[in-house]
Structure 1
Amino acid sequence: MTDRPQANYERSQHNSFKGSETPEALCLRSLYTPDYESYKSRNPSRVEGTLGWFLGHEKYRQWLQEQRSSLSWVSADPGCGKSVLALFLVDELEDRQSEPSATVCYFFFKGDNEEQRRAEFALSALLHQLFTAKPSLIRHATKDFESKGDNFTEDIGTLWRIFTSATADPDCGDVIIIFDGLDECEVSTREKLIDSLALSYAVSANRTIPTTRDTSLKFLLTSRSCGSIERRFRGLPIIRLRAEAETLAIGADIELVVNSVAEELRHMCGLTELERARLRDHLVQDADGTCLWLSLAIEKPSDYGESPLKDVLRILNTPSNMDAVTDGRSRVPVGRYGSVAVYGYRGGGGYDIRRGHSTGSVIGADRIYEPT
């Protein structure tokens, strides 16, 4: 995707601060501790035609069109594209902002990275994005920075207070926040984050209304359906979208993803149309309602030749075990089939096969084809 005007503006502002030694410049740099931009890019882009059901969903439209502040929680089962959705929404919402007063901020939680799994890093990332887009707002953070130094970024209470003060500033304008993978946030900091969200809203009979803002502050959170998160949200009039209930829509999206993967393999391996169809049917059969089985790592090295379809099918014909988890497993090469590189995760008596550029969505294997 080409750089948008807002992204160019953010980089120019960041560079202008970087050349200065003012307290504002040092404060902004201290907030850039988490490399939130690369966390966003870890996730694959959506396949063309998918997620249309979400954009037209009444719950999403309600959240998007609400004139006042609103909080939406989107839950979904593993392997159903929550991070793909969040990535798409960040880009979609940034592209559709016609007025410079609307600022889109984001953070992608991930349990396998210490910086990506803690709420204080998420809040630092939000403040960095907000102050980059609206440089005058950094005045809300300089007092804490001057009194505490870089340590002010380690306290969730301080960061949240700065965030609420800055977003209530008349110069701030509307703000949209996307948090992806809230269930992967470390539990103690996640609880503090959710509690801070709850305390920042005054509950009326019909909706949540921030007590100090004239403009809107909208949060959209994604996670697995999680009892501990649901209990924390209890009592908040959030807009809840249960994607796990949208089985037909998600199933249609998965078929589009399968078709895309099969077509990519057809071009890379030189498969015939009949072979592509057989491969596509095989992937659909093993998908089992999620994208977990489609965790193939596809690379395009110039020094590998083509290989017959049977070798691709041998690696894909591994029996599925949808209960497999990748925690603590090491990434190992399994083999190459033409220009298709297949990787696995060692552990539990087998391997997990997964798409190399997607950080979730895995599947266990009871046996594996070892190339000679």
Structure 2
Amino acid sequence: MRGVAIGIQADPAISSPVVGVLRVIIDIGLEFSKFFTRLTDMICEFEDYLGPLSEHSQAADIELVEHAVVSVYTNMLEFGWKARSVFIGSNGKRRRFTSFRAFKRQHWDTFETEFMSMKQQMQHHLHVLQHTVQATHFSHSRITAQSRSSLLSIARTERREFLSWVSDIDFEEVHQTTYTKKHRGTGDWLTREPKFQEWMQSPHSSLLWCNGKPGIGKSVLSSHVLEHITAEAGLRERTAICFAYYNYRDTRLASITTIIATLIKQLCQGMHDIPENLLEIMRNARSPSLLGSKEYFFSLMEKSSEVFVVFDALDECPEERREDVLGFITEAVTMPAPHCVKIFATSRREMDITEAFLKKNVPTIQISADSVAADIETFARSRVEELGSGQHGKTLYITSDDLKEEIIQTLAQKAEGIFLWVNLQLENLCQASKAQNDEVVKEALHTLPRDLPDTYIRILERIETQSPYMRDLAIRCLAWVLYAQRPLETQELQTALAINSKCKTQEDLRPISLKVILEACGNLLEEANRVTRPIHYIVQEFLTTAVHGPLQHKIRRQLLDSKSLHKNLSLDCLMYIDLMSFSKPASHEWELLEQIRDHDLAIYAYTSFDYHIWNSVEPSSDATNKLGRLLQKDSSCLAALLQITLLSNDSTRWGSTERFRRIDFRVTPATIIYSTRLYNIPTIKQRWVGQTPPIYALHLAASAGLVDAIIRLLEEGSEIDEKDGDQCTSMYYACQNGHLDIAQILVNKGADIHARGGYFDNALQVASYQGHTQIVQMLLDAGADVNLEGGLHSSAL
């Protein structure tokens, strides 16, 4: 505080409010002990600025000096006010929080960023003071101030743009959703484990693997570990934290480049200045997938003295892609000093993960039933209390305290460490308690299913006994959730379930309430991050894995009949497309977005109807008839259908449609067949494909990934380097959409890899932008010129 004292001597009249503010901040820091050290460090940093003020005041006009001193003190008052706002709400009351990480992210991290700006402003005021004392360059100082303010604004805007551009995956939201499932007092056994303590405190890079059976609470433990790391190390200088939650339904996470790009985004969020080499990639309008390189991640690590990384549910990464992430993890922790990377990973004991970690002698903590026994009882007690008071819209109606304690102890003793089992039994007991008779609840308690499979069978039996409407709704909903080409957002699912043969116009669609959907499905589903999905990975496994005996319930058999379900889903998609009735294609991308803005299921139905028809092997007569009527529409309607079909299935009605194409040629039924998987269905191909291929058939087949069609068209003499209305070749579309096998066939047949045309000018540039590294390597091996200039980014480089 010596620097503050010196500043006070410069002019006591204006300093006293600052003294009071600093005392308030120190008092607050004592209450929020984890922030005390950082707060006092911030206060001490003012010493660098206040000392020189005293010296200048001895040799300059006091009025001018006082103006500069007031500016500095204004910054200090602003610091005090904003620091107080971190911990004290607008109502004057102390902020409370359950998640340290959420509090830090929502309140403290913003303050940290603002503190850096305040420091820069104080530095600026010292510059102004120096010019004032010299009585020269005053106007220059003002211009400089405006220039610096403008530069700061530009830098902040570019920072926001970069963080939005580099990855759209929000693991922070996943973390908060997961952490809210944790109950107070649970999970602490893990952070007290000697192996965990050793890993946490080690000055060297290290990996800790935590494994356990399904449903034992690994993801919630991961969220607890992340909160613990953030609370213990998140405020340290040059310490960085990043994390990834794998989800088997999110196909984006299968790519290690996507995971690394998202980790890089998180590291950059913790930096005041984003490295220039990363910004250059965005400025040059290149693909963010280029940042998904471990070299970029390792270079960012060098800017921190310590990096913590949490990986949850490694087993939910597709087995064929797991080698990439396991290699990345083991390489990261074996890099030589000065790198210090500490990785915490959870998974089941899958063979490949076990072998990879055993080879490296990775320290392991196995989550056993005994490990979490106390947590299970705490969880059961907490949930019974919540349900007893009717929280979250569900109520456990019991009057006897003895029965309440019996429920808690019975669940704790029979759970065998499975939190999910406890939760599902409480759902069942809530149902039984609707009779508001303790004896009925006690009887249900004494006949609990012994494990998760038995529990699921009970739930399916309960679904079976519902009204015909609710039972059919459950089966349709589970079919969509289990067999959709990608996870449906809740709005998409609600619309899909509203489709029926009575719908004649869009106005007839009546989206079904999410509450009704979850109730119909026996609470086997949940909504998380705007997507309705199974409550756990093992629910999906149970419903889609064939078994024999009593576990083969009638509804389960229906859900295992994927061909029949795909027939139903294909018909739903075709009925929805029929309701849309777009009469002509859009002329511009914005016009197309406007067309589909209010149609929740449009992108999915148009880009996936062929996926469901193809997976049904032989389409139903209803689907065949509906498809026939669709293909018999005039060329303009078919052009509108084709235009949306060519979009990426990952697109949303709000998102980018970079695959937008103007359809300025005649579209026939055969055009649609060559653009979709329908080409691979013999009965459909025989009916709608004539002897003469439609215009641009090779381009459309290359875009759709139809290997057989490409081979046939080339054998029949299609011009391999023909250009369409956008001046693109079939090679361009194969490379844009990532179809390596087709690109290789075209190269082998002599396609011109340097053909010019399209938004990205050439095949190498579009493949590079889309992040299709194998295609890029194949093109380079074939002699592609990396310096070929043209297109959006000038060159592939």
TM-score, normalising length: structure 1: 0.74
Is 2:200 the counterpart of 1:60? no
Determine if contact 1:79/1:292 at 8 Å carries over to the other structure: yes
**What is the Cα deviation at residue 20 of structure 1?**
5.5
- Which residue, out of 303, 324, 330, partners 1:192? 324
Distance in 1, matches of 2:283 and 2:186, equals 47
**What is the Cα deviation at residue 101 of structure 1?**
2.0
The corresponding residue for 1:133 is: 270
Distance in 2, matches of 1:215 and 1:116, equals 26
Distance in 2, matches of 1:309 and 1:334, equals 26
Three-state SS of the structure 1 residue aligned to 2:360 is: coil
Once the two structures are superposed, what CA deviation does each residue of 1:149-170 show, in whole Å capped at 9, x if it has no partner?
2x232674x2x2211111023x
The structure richer in helix per residue is 2
Is 2:305 the counterpart of 1:173? yes
The corresponding residue for 1:338 is: none
**What is the Cα deviation at residue 306 of structure 1?**
8.6
Shift in CA distance, 27/353, structure 1 to aligned 2, threshold 3 Å: closer
Aligned length: 336
The corresponding residue for 1:339 is: none
Determine if contact 1:137/1:166 at 8 Å carries over to the other structure: no
**What is the Cα deviation at residue 19 of structure 1?**
6.9
**What is the Cα deviation at residue 103 of structure 1?**
1.9
Distance in 1, matches of 2:397 and 2:454, equals 32
Three-state SS of the structure 1 residue aligned to 2:359 is: coil
Is 2:403 the counterpart of 1:287? no
The corresponding residue for 2:36 is: none
The corresponding residue for 2:452 is: 322
Task: State the AA in 1 paired with 2:210.
Answer: V
What are structure 1's unaligned runs of at least 5 residues? 202-207, 299-304, 336-342, 368-372
The corresponding residue for 1:40 is: 175
Task: State the AA in 2 paired with 1:38.
Answer: E
The corresponding residue for 1:340 is: none
Three-state SS of the structure 1 residue aligned to 2:238 is: coil
Equivalent residue runs for 1:298-309 within 5 Å? 307-309=436-438
**What is the Cα deviation at residue 221 of structure 1?**
0.6
**What is the Cα deviation at residue 273 of structure 1?**
0.8
Task: State the AA in 2 paired with 1:240.
Answer: T
The structure richer in strand per residue is 1
Three-state SS of the structure 1 residue aligned to 2:247 is: coil
**What is the Cα deviation at residue 334 of structure 1?**
9.6
Three-state SS of the structure 2 residue aligned to 1:124 is: helix
What are structure 2's unaligned runs of at least 5 residues? 1-97, 118-151, 391-395, 428-433, 466-473, 483-519, 529-534, 543-549, 554-797
Distance in 2, matches of 1:184 and 1:175, equals 24
Distance in 2, matches of 1:324 and 1:139, equals 57
Task: State the AA in 2 paired with 1:319.
Answer: P
The corresponding residue for 1:277 is: 405
Once the two structures are superposed, what CA deviation does each residue of 1:232-268 show, in whole Å capped at 9, x if it has no partner?
334324222222xx43222222122122222222333
Shift in CA distance, 40/180, structure 1 to aligned 2, threshold 3 Å: same
- Which residue, out of 225, 228, 238, partners 2:362? 238
Three-state SS of the structure 1 residue aligned to 2:210 is: strand
| % identical aligned pairs | 19
Is 2:353 the counterpart of 1:229? yes
Shift in CA distance, 362/293, structure 1 to aligned 2, threshold 3 Å: farther
Is 2:346 the counterpart of 1:216? no
Distance in 2, matches of 1:35 and 1:198, equals 25
The corresponding residue for 1:106 is: 243
The corresponding residue for 1:248 is: 370
**What is the Cα deviation at residue 137 of structure 1?**
4.3
Distance in 2, matches of 1:102 and 1:29, equals 23
Is 2:288 the counterpart of 1:152? yes
Distance in 2, matches of 1:309 and 1:265, equals 15
Distance in 2, matches of 1:265 and 1:276, equals 11
Distance in 1, matches of 2:153 and 2:246, equals 27
Determine if contact 2:307/2:342 at 8 Å carries over to the other structure: yes
Determine if contact 2:310/2:343 at 8 Å carries over to the other structure: yes
Is 2:76 the counterpart of 1:76? no
Determine if contact 1:176/1:217 at 8 Å carries over to the other structure: yes
Shift in CA distance, 113/251, structure 1 to aligned 2, threshold 3 Å: same
Determine if contact 2:238/2:306 at 8 Å carries over to the other structure: yes
The corresponding residue for 1:183 is: 315
Distance in 2, matches of 1:313 and 1:173, equals 57
**What is the Cα deviation at residue 117 of structure 1?**
5.1
Determine if contact 2:261/2:288 at 8 Å carries over to the other structure: no
Three-state SS of the structure 2 residue aligned to 1:106 is: strand
Three-state SS of the structure 2 residue aligned to 1:176 is: strand
Task: State the AA in 2 paired with 1:92.
Answer: H
Shift in CA distance, 42/121, structure 1 to aligned 2, threshold 3 Å: farther
Determine if contact 2:329/2:343 at 8 Å carries over to the other structure: no
Is 2:360 the counterpart of 1:261? no
Three-state SS of the structure 2 residue aligned to 1:127 is: helix
Determine if contact 1:286/1:293 at 8 Å carries over to the other structure: no
Task: State the AA in 2 paired with 1:196.
Answer: F
Task: State the AA in 1 paired with 2:379.
Answer: V
Determine if contact 2:214/2:538 at 8 Å carries over to the other structure: no
Distance in 2, matches of 1:275 and 1:334, equals 29
Tell me the C-alpha RMSD between the 2 structures: 4.2
Task: State the AA in 1 paired with 2:384.
Answer: A
Task: State the AA in 2 paired with 1:262.
Answer: V
Task: State the AA in 1 paired with 2:366.
Answer: R
Higher radius of gyration, 1 or 2: 2
Determine if contact 2:205/2:340 at 8 Å carries over to the other structure: yes
Three-state SS of the structure 2 residue aligned to 1:89 is: helix
Shift in CA distance, 35/69, structure 1 to aligned 2, threshold 3 Å: same
Determine if contact 2:166/2:288 at 8 Å carries over to the other structure: no
Is 2:285 the counterpart of 1:163? no
